[in-house]
Amino acid sequence: MASRIEILNDGGFRSDGRRQYELRDITIDLSQQGHADGSAIITHGLTQVLVSVFGPREAKQRRETIHDRANINVEVNIAAFSTGERRKRSRGDKRISELASTIKSTFEPVILTSIYPRSQIDIFVQVLQQDGGLLQACINCTTLALANAGIPLLDFVCAITGGVHSTSPVLDLTTLEENDIPHVTVAMMPRTGKVTLVTMETRLHADRFEEIFRLAIDAGKVIHKEMKSAVRHRTDALVTAMGSGSRFAVSGEMAEEQMKDY
């Protein structure tokens, strides 16, 4: 079937001027948002997501309490102005529920929940703008917000979407590309090399899947460098703001040592 749009032109460029494996520009803002214990804003191209983390704190309802670990609660809200479809999505919307469930299942094995028994960690995801790669942006932003909140993680979680046009793999898809070609989202932990999520809503040939999977792992390592750099700069800025006393200097050294683990 012929493509409705030109995914790759004769020069090997995509509709936004990128080549096959090029990622969109990434910007990260770790400045404090509201009363959250940790927050982050990330943009992948024109897709922008805000994540706020509260906790660990006492569970609001007894039935949500787990005696030997923290309960992870994820809520997603997609702003009506974030997309051209102008459709208001309620909290019970199937797509929003699936997105929240995927984020929760991705991070439950990564957050050291056993440290905080009988408590709750709330993750609120606000989609501000979307142009493809929504799940990857939500996952990457959640990692940053959790780190900013001081929640201990086994590793960063870095996600990327990839697809195949004809026989050509492409990374970090826009909405036009996602609507037109088979694609998959992969989330990986760069330090251990483990994969925490593979989700695919369209059919993809097994041979093509293996190729795009390997490319996604490499792309995740690139995104990890951007995320790690942003967290390091945030930590340095906080230590500097605290002052140059010996107590704060020790805190800075400890933060630096923790970053080496990632």
* Chain Cα centroid distance, residue 116: 23
pLDDT in tens, 157-193: 999 999 998 888 999 999 999 999 999 999 999 998 8
pLDDT in tens, 129-141: 999 999 999 999 9
CATH topology classification for 26-260: Ribosomal Protein S5; domain 2 (3.30.230)
pLDDT in tens, 102-147: 999 999 999 999 999 999 999 999 999 999 999 999 999 999 999 9
**What are the residue boundaries of the structural domains of the chain, listed by start?**
26-260
* CA-atom Rg of the chain in angstroms: 19
Spatial separation of the C-alpha atoms in residues 215 and 20, rounded to whole Å: 11
Spatial separation of the C-alpha atoms in residues 99 and 138, rounded to whole Å: 9
| Amino acid (one-letter) located at 132 | G
Q: Which pLDDT score, from 0 to 100, does residue 249 have?
A: 47
Helix axes 134-148, 206-242, angle to 10 degrees: 30
